[in-house]
Amino acid sequence: MNATEPTPRRTAEELVLVLDFGSQYAQLIARRVREQQVYCEIVRHDLPAAQIAARRPMGLILSGGPSSVYDPGAPRCDPKLFELGVPVLGICYGMQLACQALGGRVENAPAREYGRALCGRTADHPLFDGLPDRFEVWMSHGDQVTRVSDAFVPIAGTDTCPIAAVRHQRLPVLGLQFHPEVTHTPLGGAMLGNFLKQICGCHGRWKLGDFARETVEAIRERVGGDRVICGLSGGVDSSVTAALLYQAIGSNLTCILVNNGLLRRDEQASVIREFTDHFRTDLHVIDAEDRFLGALAGIREPQEKRRRIGHAFIACFKEASAKVAGARYLAQGTLYPDVIESGAAPDGPAATIKLHHNVGGLPEELGFALIEPLRDLFKDEVRKLGLELGLPEELVWRHPFPGPGLAVRCLGEVTRERLAVLRSADAIVVEEIRRGGLYRMTAQAFAVLLPVRSVGVMGDSRTYDHAIAVRCVDTDDFMTADWTRLPYELLARISTRIINEVKGVNRVCYDISSKPPATIEWE
C-alpha cells in the first residue's frame, strides 16, 4: 500500500496473505479470496516468517510471477514459512517455488503452455470437493514441476503437465500449476473456496461494508479538520472516492472537475448535476481545454500522451489549491488494475503495461499528500461499495472512462477536429447499446478513432475518410476481459448511424480481441 494513503485498520477475524512474486494476477487472487468473504492482503514475497506469524494468518497464497525459479535473483520466500503450520497454496511460480524448496525438481517445459487445458484428478483431496473428475483450467507457464520428492503426492494433471497439482504429505502445503484466480478457470473460485474453508478453516465473515467503515474512520483520523481536494471525472471511481470522503469529512471536501477537452459528450453537465444535487459538495469547474490540447499538440506516442496529461493535471490542481483555503490533501480514484498495469504494485516486480496519469510519479512540489482509498479494490468491488454508500445505480453502473479521457481513444495526434469526430461516434455507440438493453450486460463500450484513412464510396463519389473501431467487452475485474458478442443487427445500426451521422467517417470496425493479449483501451 502506498505510504501516503490511509491504511484501513483490519478488524476481520480471519486473514489470508498473498505473497506477491510479480504476477499480473496477484491482486486478482486477493479479490477472489474476498469474494469468499475472507479478508485478504498482499504482502512482500520476502517477508520474514516471523513477521508473517505475527499477523496470525489462517492461510498463505504464493502468487505466480514472470521469473523462473532458476533465474539469477529470482524472487524467493523465507523457507521457514513452510514450517509455520499455516496452510500454503502455491500458484504457478508459487507452486514451483514451494516444490523446489521442499525437495522437488523444476525444469523448463518442452513447450510453453498458455491457454485452456483439461485437468483431471489423480487423487482425492478436499481442494477438489464438489468438482467433477475433469475440469477446465487456464495455464500460463514455461517451467513446470517434473519430479516431486517423496514428501509430495501429485493430485491432478493434464496431458502436457502430469503434475498440475500437488500436496505435501506432512505439511499443509498445496500447489497448482494452473491459475484458479482467472475467469478462464471456471471452477477456480470453488477450488479457492475449498482451500479457504476446508483447509484453512475460514468461515467467511468479512464484508465490503467493513472496508467502507474502516476507510472512513482512517480518513477522518488522518485528515482531521483539514480540507481535501478530490478530482472528479464523472466516472464511478472518482464518484465513490468522493462519497467516502464526504462521509468522512463532510463540508471539508472540495471537488474539482477539470474540463480538459477530452471528456465525453455532455460529461461536464452530468458531473455538475450529480455533485451539486446529490452531494451538494463544494464543486469547482476548471476550463483547461486549451492547456491540455496545447500540451498534446503533435504528440502521437501513447505513453508521452499520458505523461503530458498527468503533468497538465498536476498544474491544474496546483493552481486550484491556491484558491482553496486549508487544502492539504489530494484524493484520487486509483484502482488496483491501474496500479498493477503501471508496474507499481507495492511489493512485486510486475511488468509495466502502460502508464496511468494518476499512478505514481507525482512530484514533491505538488504540495499535497495523496489519498487513494480505492487503491486495493477492483472495479466490481468499487461498484458494490458505491451501492453500500447510497450512490444512485445509474452512476454506479456507468461504464468506466480512462483518466486521460478521449486522448487514449484518439490514436495518433489529438486535435479538436479529431476529438469532435470521436466524441460523436462514441455517443452513438453508447446510445445504441442502451437502446438495445445491453448497457448493464456489458462492462465497457466505446469508440476509437484510428490513425488511418480508407477509400469509400458515398453518393457515387469517392471518399478518403476516417475509420472508427468499436470496442465492447465483458469482464468482472478488468484484469481479464473478452469481447462482447453483440447482435449483428445492433452492430449494423451502430455502423450505419456513425457513417451517416458523423462527417468524415466512412468505415467502422469491431474489435474482437480479448485481454490478454490485448488491453481494453487501445493506448
Catalytic residue annotation? 92, 179, 181
> Which residue matches cell numbers 456489458?
442
Task: Give 450's strand partners.
Answer: none
Which residues make Cβ contacts (< 8 Å) with residue 199, sequence separation at least 6? 59, 87, 126, 127, 172, 174
Cell digits for 121?
484428478
For residues 203 and 116, the answer to whether their CB atoms sit within 8 Å is no
Cα–Cα dist 131/144, whole Å: 24
**How does strand 461-474 pair with strand 505-510?**
parallel
Burial class (CB in 10 A: 0-12, 13-18, 19+), 175: buried
For residues 296 and 305, the answer to whether their CB atoms sit within 8 Å is yes
Going by C-alpha positions, the residue among 472, 405, 467 that lies closest to residue 436 is 472
- Which helix (DSSP H) or strand (DSSP E) does residue 468 occupy? strand 461-474
Q: What are the two backbone dihedrals, phi and then psi, of residue 229, each rounded to the nearest 5 degrees?
A: -100, 130
Cα–Cα dist 69/96, whole Å: 7
Residue type, 26: A
Burial class (CB in 10 A: 0-12, 13-18, 19+), 3: exposed
Task: Give 44's strand partners.
Answer: 20
For residues 281 and 253, the answer to whether their CB atoms sit within 8 Å is yes
Phi/psi zone of residue 421: left (φ > 0), alpha (ψ -120 to 50 degrees), beta?
A: alpha
Count of C-beta atoms within a 10 Å radius of residue 500: 11
Cα–Cα dist 427/498, whole Å: 10
> Which residue matches cell numbers 475440469?
135
Cell digits for 205?
465473515
Cα–Cα dist 462/102, whole Å: 70
Going by C-alpha positions, the residue among 141, 156, 160 that lies closest to residue 21 is 141
Which residues make Cβ contacts (< 8 Å) with residue 289, sequence separation at least 6? 259, 260, 261
Q: Angle at Cα 11 formed by Cα 8 and Cα 17, nearest 5°?
A: 75
> Which residue matches cell numbers 498544474?
315
- Which helix (DSSP H) or strand (DSSP E) does residue 221 occupy? helix 208-223
